[in-house]
Amino acid sequence: MLLTQALINKELCAVSNKATKLLTFQKITMNTYPNNTDELRQIPIVSYLEHQGYRPAKPENSRGEVKFLSPFRSETKPSFSVNVNKNVWHDYGTGEGGSIFDLVMKLWNVDFIKAKEILSKGTYKQMFYRPSDTHYERQRPSPFTDIRASPLTSTYFLDYCKERCIDLDVAKEECHQVDYRLSGHMNSAIGFENDKGGWEFRSPTTKICTCKAISTRCKKEGNTTVCVFEGFFDYLSFLTMMKPECRQKYDYVILNSVGMANKAIPILKGYKSVRCYLDNDHAGKNAFDIIRKEVNAENRSEKMLPFNDVNEYLCKGLNQSTSEQNV
């Protein structure tokens, strides 16, 4: 009898702790986040990923882990895991992991201070994790609806482009301002269209896509050189650095994810010269190696060192009319 009562008390304690944890998440996320580091750390990673457009690929298992397709590359088998009890993530593809700060730092390629700023500026009104009533499907319909594209005119988004040193005429020509509905709420972002008719979305607080696909930009018939970029802000940065009369001399492939490197091979085989401007990190170098095995590719990223990518290279005070020989 005493043993039975002890077990009952243990179960009640566990339920109480879980309920307290969920209520804490709900209390925190129903309002705009403060700057308190400890409170920001409590933002549920599963909910944050869902808010960014990433949906679980598998339900929570007995160890409290939820599996996602990695937000850092294209894959068909989920290798990205979130432990909901510890609120930490682990990417089995790269061996990386950590807290929500580590996730935001990697997703946005920012430091810890900027990651805190991104999280504290966000409004996560529906971000609390409910493992008991979350449903999973192998084939989910797109969570994005009511997508409407228009010319890029918002001062908010143009200021963001200026913060990232992008020529505004380039931004207006290459991008759109896109309104879309996600999780029942209307949002807006800078949109860059891919070859499947989907969108890459960027804003000061958003980095998501409607579907993963490569973006190609063929500037002039007969071009024999193609430039390859990891993300579209690198592409915009490259155009910003080039003189307008030089921009038409090349065609462009934007991977939108290093995981799309293999899918770019058939396109790149159609060119005599392939110039890769991928990030100067482990993932970027791996993507270049994949491309180099199939086509005669040149690693132009080395010209950007010690900077990580083209946008960082641009924003460190380089002349915005840099000659093509320098890049």
Query: Where do the domains of the chain lie?
Result: 2-121, 144-209, 215-326
Task: Output helix, strand, coil percentages for the chain, rounded to the nearest 5.
Answer: 40, 20, 40
Non-local (6+) Cβ contacts of 247 within 8 A are 219, 239
Q: What is the Cα–Cα distance from 123 to 319, expressed in whole angstroms?
A: 37
Which residue in 295, 228, 282 sits closest to 260, CA to CA?
A: 228
Cα four-point dihedral sign 303, 306, 307, 309: positive
Phi, psi of 227 (to 5 degrees): -110, 135
pLDDT of residue 97: 87
- Mean pLDDT of each 10-residue bin along the chain, 327 residues long: 45 44 40 62 84 78 85 82 89 86 85 81 44 40 84 95 95 95 88 92 88 87 92 96 90 91 91 94 90 93 89 75 50
Q: What is the Cα–Cα distance from 322 to 37, expressed in whole angstroms?
A: 41
Q: What is the pTM of this model?
A: 0.61
Amino acid at the residue 160? Y
pLDDT of residue 241: 93
Which residue in 117, 260, 114 sits closest to 198, CA to CA?
A: 260
pLDDT of residue 141: 59
**Both structure tokens of 117:** 């700023």
The highest-level CATH class for domain 2-121 is alpha beta
SS3 category, 50: helix
Q: 215-326 adopts what CATH topology?
A: Dna Topoisomerase Vi A Subunit; Chain: A, domain 2 (3.40.1360)
Whether a cis peptide bond, with omega within 30° of 0, leads into 266 is no
